[in-house]
Structure 1
Amino acid sequence: MLNNPRSHGLWEKTAPPAPQTTALNESLSTDVVIVGGGYTGLSAALHLAEAGTDVVLLEAHEVGFGGAGRNVGLINAGMWVMPDDFPRELGPIYGERLLELLGNGPYLVRDLIDRHDIDCELERSGTLHCAVGADGLKELEQRAAQWQRRGAPLAVLDAAETERRVGTSAYAGSLLDMRAGTLQPLAYARGLAKAAIAAGARLHTDSAVVAYGERDGRRVVRTAQGEVKADWIIVASEAYSTGPWEVIRQEQVYLPYFNLATVPLSDAQLRAILPGREGCWDTREVLSSFRMDKAGRLVFGSVGALRGTGAGIHKAWARRSLRRLFPQIADIPFECEWYGMIGMTDNALPRLHKFAPGVLGFCGYNGRGISPGTTFGRILSEHILGRIAEVDLPLPFTDPRLPPLRAAKEAYYELGAQIAHFAGERF
């Protein structure tokens, strides 16, 4: 996108075309205006339009331009934090409510894909969180126990079963989550957009919101060439926010993440590496992730940005890491490379904001955007429709909270990933 092959990489290359949209160049009136064309905004637009609500969505660039079109494509349940940390951080009511909602999030994603026949390479075979050493396995056993007490279908697999499923003996075990799976993330975003348009939503791309105000008791957002008056505004621009709600970007610390995709593997290689097509990531602090796409390309990623000195360092590390994990594809060419930014909150949990009366937004997906973004888009639509009262929302409304030393932390993460990968996998 925007003539940058490192922004969306494989996903832009293989996704079905985006629906036809135009920039906003007129004045419109609607019930709800949504700012942002990622999973949250698109899910909200779809659910509102299906309920008969008039809705306009404004996207600054293209559908799926932000994290929705750049991520690994893992449909995860929950967040990075341990399940028991939800009630400790949010209190027992909101903590357990949010945990249950996010635990069931992948089922909503699957349902939308099935109902709207979205062509996005959905794999329902689960994910494997892979344990690095005894400490990693202990962490997974704790996570499994906490989820299992809540009835979730998770199982800890031993090293032998993990090796059979993954194709490497590098891990001490793994945590299998059958709620989860993988998909083509940009294709999913474009599919949601197509479904929302079919339901009656009006989508405008290349329409960045530059100003917000009120007129005659209604909310008004302005773009370079048009404006929209509405009763409600959903702010769904997340970590790529600019303009009137740039505070969303400012309350999150950027964590860069890159992916490399190989050329398609041979049939023999596909029988040996991830034959069940689970999505995987490991327990290292500077983690690695890997999964297959529909054509049999191995998508391999980790923390870091493919720019400056990082481009060479991260790609060289990825080659060494593949050689250790999967020596049979040690020299396979990489076909695509791309990276994006994950927005991290200080407690690694999402937030719900009321920026003004009738102006609402979730943010802070912390690298778990597919399922939570889809879910929160539905929740906001249900609240606007009067089906969920404020007291029953999964999070309380809070004011944006800016992290200290944000710029320094972001520089540290990018440089730290380079240092870790420069030294990593050399012995």
Structure 2
Amino acid sequence: MSNDQRSHALWERTAPSPPQTTKLTGDVAARVAVVGAGYTGLSTALHLAERGQEAVVLEAAEIGSGAAGRSTGMVNAGLWVMPAVLKEKLGPIYGERMLYLLRDTPHSVFDIIEKYNIPCERRRVGTIHCGSGRKGIAEIAERARQWQAIGAPVHILSADETRDKTGTTAFPTSLLDARAGTIQPLAYVRGLARAAIASGARVFTGSPVVVIEREGDDWLLRTELGSIRAKWVFLSTDIYTSGIVPELRGGQVVLPFFHFATAPLNPSILRTILPEGHGGWDTAMTAFRTDDAGRLIIGSVGALRGGGTRIHRKWARRRMRALFPQLGEIELDYEWYGRIGMTNDHLPRLHVSRQNLIALTGFNGRGIAPGTVFGREIARHICGELPLDAMFLPISPVRNAPFRSLREGYYELGAQIAHLPPAR
């Protein structure tokens, strides 16, 4: 996208074409203006349109051009934090609401895919969270205990069971989550856009918002060539927010995350790697999966720019061989990276700065399933089905993350250091 070979790479190459859209020209009126065509923004527009509400989506670049089209494609339940942390951080009321809402989020994603026949390499077979080291083993056991306590279908796998499911002997234990699965993320977000448009929403791309202002009882959003007048505005741009509301970007620390993909593997080798089609990741922040063409995809923290590109590329080859020695010589066909917005407590934020102006930020690496469901809940609120005090999150003030620039530099440099070859 945008002539950047490292923005979407494999996903851009293999996703169906996006629905036809244009820039916003002239003046448009709608009940709801949604800014940002990612999972949450398009889910909001889709669920509004299904309820007969006029919704217009404004996207500065292209559908899925932000985080949505760059992810690993894991459709996981819950957030990065464990269930108990939700109650601890959000309190008993909001903690329970979030747990109930997030418990079955993958079902909501797969239901939309089925309802609207979205071609996105859907694999509804579960994901495997692998324990790495003593600390990782303890984390897996505790995650299983907490999820099982609320009835989630998660199971601890032994070393042998983990080997059989993943094809690697690198992990002594893992957590199999039967609720989850994988998709082609850019294909899914483009499918959401297509479904929203078919249901009555309008989507304009190449239309960055330059001004948001109150005019009477309405909001006026101006782009370079047009404007939208709306009763409601939902900002769903997260860390890809432009200068219109810079404080939304300042409230998070950016964590860069890259991916590499091999050429399609020989079928005899492919049968030995994640043979049932699961997606996997470990407690050391390495993600790995295959796609429908038989490519192996690996991802981790880091940015593919400057010296980091060479360091992370070499690490990817080493890590693939360490996990799956049967690969032999590895040819990498694709590489790309994006940005994850991280809040201090790894929880999302709901902001309501003025009447009928809502923003949601801080997905912390869990955008697909939570983002889709959050969009549905935002739509319910706008339609009057869900009062603000009954929402899944309390209203948070917008605050800058402390030492943000320093921490972002630390993460990028620290990832390069962590991915250097071990000293001999």
TM over 0.5: yes
1:211/1:243 contact within 8 Å kept: no
2:401 is aligned, of 388, 400, 403, to 403
In the TM superposition, 1:101-250 aligns within 5 A as: 101-250=101-250
1:134/1:172 contact within 8 Å kept: no
SS of 1:174 mapped into structure 2 = strand
- d(CA) in 1 for partners of 2:328, 2:308: 21
In the TM superposition, 1:20-419 aligns within 5 A as: 20-284=20-284, 287-419=285-417
CA apart distance, 1:332: 2.2
Return the letter of the residue paired with 1:6: R
1:322/1:330 contact within 8 Å kept: no
Deviations 1:136-185 (A, max 9, x none): 11110101100111110000000000001111110011000011110000
SS of 2:7 mapped into structure 1 = helix
Deviations 1:231-258 (A, max 9, x none): 0001001110113222111111000000
Deviations 1:110-134 (A, max 9, x none): 1100000000001011010001123
- d(CA) in 2 for partners of 1:236, 1:322: 35
SS of 2:6 mapped into structure 1 = helix
CA apart distance, 1:398: 1.1
Return the letter of the residue paired with 1:316: K
- d(CA) in 1 for partners of 2:252, 2:421: 28
Q: CA-atom RMSD, angstroms?
A: 0.9
1:319/1:330 contact within 8 Å kept: no
Return the letter of the residue paired with 1:343: G
SS of 2:80 mapped into structure 1 = coil
1:125/1:181 contact within 8 Å kept: yes
1:350/1:363 contact within 8 Å kept: yes
SS of 1:302 mapped into structure 2 = strand
SS of 2:419 mapped into structure 1 = helix
Return the letter of the residue paired with 2:136: G
Return the letter of the residue paired with 2:143: R
Identity %: 51
1:119/1:191 contact within 8 Å kept: yes
2:317/2:330 contact within 8 Å kept: no
CA apart distance, 1:216: 2.4
Return the letter of the residue paired with 2:328: A
Deviations 1:167-209 (A, max 9, x none): 1110011000011110000000000000000001110000001
Deviations 1:84-116 (A, max 9, x none): 011100101101211221121111101100000
- d(CA) in 1 for partners of 2:397, 2:81: 22
- d(CA) in 2 for partners of 1:139, 1:405: 28
Return the letter of the residue paired with 2:107: Y
SS of 2:254 mapped into structure 1 = strand
Mean alpha-carbon deviation: is it higher for 325-334 or for 167-176?
Answer: 325-334
CA apart distance, 1:271: 1.2
SS of 1:128 mapped into structure 2 = strand
Q: Unpaired segments of 5 or more residues in structure 1?
A: none
- d(CA) in 2 for partners of 1:330, 1:6: 25
CA apart distance, 1:341: 0.4
CA apart distance, 1:51: 0.7
